[in-house]
Amino acid sequence: MSEKLHIAQNLEDALLFRKENDCIVMAGSSDLMVSAYQGYGALPKFDKPVLLIRNLEELIGVRRNSDGTVEIGACTTSRQIVESPDTPWVLKQAAGRMGAVALRNSATIGGNIANASPKGDTPGPLYLLDAVVNVMSLDGGRRSIPIRDFIIKFRTIDLKNDEIITSVTIPVSDKDMTYWFYHKIGTRAANAISKLTLCACAKVSWGEVKDFRIAATASGPVTNRSRDVENIAIGLKFDELAAKASEISGAFDKVISPRAMPEFRREATRRMIEFFIDKVSKNSYKKFYN
């Protein structure tokens, strides 16, 4: 082991270290330091050298690309995500409800994705928005993987040993949809882990449902979305939607697989979906719902 901790000076330096060492990538450290905790007064335990990337300018910030997509650097903190005018509403909702102030100043979106916890707050909106995860390795190696493929299963991601997540690209913006919904049921008002989160959106034009999406987190090993279920709604007239509410929520119920508190999670998911459908089917002026 050459170094126990390497503080990367720039992206290239980070990628070089990553290539040459079997190492742990550390961003805000808010997951890593918890799992490395060994007890009061003891040193945290890492069985590999640590590569610290949290200060890399190249990986921080929210920006709008020329094609209209929004790109968020992997080391952008929840607070920075909330403060950017380019962040889609539904992702702002998620980032703004993570932990408490101190955590939102350190937790990064790259860390939240890589942690691949079913209770993580940003994957829900990212699934809903069809976000793409961009990774990089030394010598220009780049891959872009849809988030639903990038998160392979519970706590497992499609990241090679020499790669670093550099950003996520979000192809959908607020104006692309007519209605948005986000609701996190946390354990309490602040510093709350999600018991269940549902986000949804719908596009209605000329009276017809053109798009309809639902994503649920903390109700299975990974975020749940199903195009088959969404297709039940797509193509309907908005006023036909209400009659399909229980069919849609029933179909979505088959998609989720909550282990703990199954009754609560199923019931609340169903009720939230039906709440959102009710709003869409009334075609009201209000765009955002919690």
Ligand X SMILES: Cc1cc2nc3c(=O)[nH]c(=O)nc-3n(C[C@H](O)[C@H](O)[C@H](O)COP(=O)(O)OP(=O)(O)OC[C@H]3O[C@@H](n4cnc5c(N)ncnc54)[C@H](O)[C@@H]3O)c2cc1C
User: Cβ(179)–Cβ(289) under 8 Å?
Assistant: yes
According to CB under 6 A, which residues from 90 to 109 bind ligand X?
98-99, 103, 106-108
Supply 265's token pair.
Answer: 């999670």
Task: Tell the smallest beta-carbon distance from residue 49 to other proteins (Å).
Answer: 18
Residues 235-274 that bind other proteins (CB under 8 A): 261, 263-265, 267-268, 271-272
Q: What is the DSSP string of 54-120?
A: TT-GGG--EEE-TTS-EEEETT-BHHHHHH-TTS-HHHHHHHHTSS-HHHHTT-BHHHHHHHT-TT-
Q: How far apart are CA 78 and CA 265, in angstroms?
A: 26
Q: What SS3 class is residue 4?
A: coil
Query: How far apart, in whole angstroms, are the C-alpha atoms of residue 14 and residue 83?
Result: 27
Partner that binds at residue 31, options ligand X, other proteins, none, CB closer than 5 to 8 Å by kind: ligand X
Binding partner selected for residue 107 from ligand X, other proteins, none, CB under the kind-specific 5 to 8 Å limit = ligand X
Residues 66-85, interacting with ligand X (CB under 6 A):
74
Interface positions, 195-214, toward other proteins (CB under 8 A):
195-196
The tokens for 46 are: 């890492």
Distance, CA of 118 to CA of 97 (rounded, Å): 16
Q: How far is 142 from 67, CA to CA, in rounded Å?
A: 19
Does the footprint of ligand X cover residue 120 (CB under 6 A)? yes
Residues in 157-176 that interact with ligand X by CB under 6 A? 159, 164-165
Q: Does 183 bind other proteins (CB under 8 A)?
A: yes
Expressed in angstroms, the distance from the first to the final Cα of the chain is 49
CB of 240 to other proteins, least distance (A): 22
Query: Does 154 participate in binding other proteins (rule CB under 8 A)?
Result: no
* Residue 195 interacting partner from other proteins, ligand X, none (CB closer than 5 to 8 Å by kind): other proteins
Q: Which does 27 bind (CB under 5 to 8 A by kind): other proteins, ligand X, none?
A: ligand X
CA dihedral for 94, 95, 101, 103, sign (positive or negative):
positive
Residues in contact with other proteins by CB under 8 A are 37-43, 45, 183, 185, 187-193, 195-196, 261, 263-265, 267-268, 271-272, 275
Q: Which residues bind ligand X (CB under 6 A)?
A: 24-32, 34, 53, 74, 98-99, 103, 106-108, 110-112, 114-115, 120-121, 159, 164-165, 191, 193
